[in-house]
Amino acid sequence: MTEAEFVGFRDRAIANYADAMVRSGQWLELSARAQAEEPTSRRLPDGVNSANALLLTALDEEERVIAHAWIDLPDSPFRGREAWIYFIEILPEYRGQHLGRRLLEAFESRLRQEEQHLIVLNVFTHNSAARSLYESSGYDVVAVTMSKWLSEDPMRRRFDSI
């Protein structure tokens, strides 16, 4: 990933994370952007040159950008010996062409070459396309977080009206 690509990528990664946390009911929309910026800035303090971060751009045969990805590599200050996929973004016009599967295969191949043994990710339940991709690619569910609203979510309704 180039420095120029990183600026837009970082912004989209933050927006995506904030939106997912709001949709899952874990954060309020009012503060979600700020909450998403903090861990992203901490994990990518030096942009494309951040240690233990693999920031990738996928190109088609005509050198057009079709996807971006962020993988936190093993032995980072935030993780142990496993690699974590933080964000995969396939541009809308290229979705539905099995690029997600090919990206996962490329990540796995690269990590095997480095003698890594485990790759991990989180996926929100509302992201059925991603869940289907990961499950059909051999990723196992190892934990499930569940929640239940006991009311009509009065906090969200109150803050959405501001």
The model's pLDDT over 64-88, given as tens digits with 9 standing for 90+, comes to: 999 999 998 877 556 667 889 999 9
Q: Residue range 13-27: average pLDDT? A: 92
For the chain, how many structural domains are there in total?
A: 1
Residues of the chain with pLDDT > 70, as a percent, come to 90
Q: 115 vs 112, which has greater pLDDT? A: 112
The per-residue pLDDT for 3 is: 94
Collapsing DSSP states into helix, strand and coil, what is residue 85? strand
156, 21 Cβ separation under 8 angstroms: no
Domain range for residue 117?
3-160
| DSSP H or E segment with residue 56 | strand 53-59
The per-residue pLDDT for 17 is: 94
Lowest mean pLDDT segment, chosen from 28-32, 118-122, 149-153: 149-153
State the CB neighbour count (10 A cutoff) for residue 51.
12
| DSSP H or E segment with residue 66 | strand 65-72
Unique residue bearing structure tokens 């200050």: 77
Tokens standing for residue 84 = 């974590």
Strands 53-59 and 65-72: antiparallel
Closest CA to 13 of 51, 52, 53: 53
CATH number at residue 114: 3.40.630.30
User: How much of the chain is in helix, strand and coil states, percent to nearest 5?
Assistant: 45, 15, 40
The per-residue pLDDT for 158 is: 47
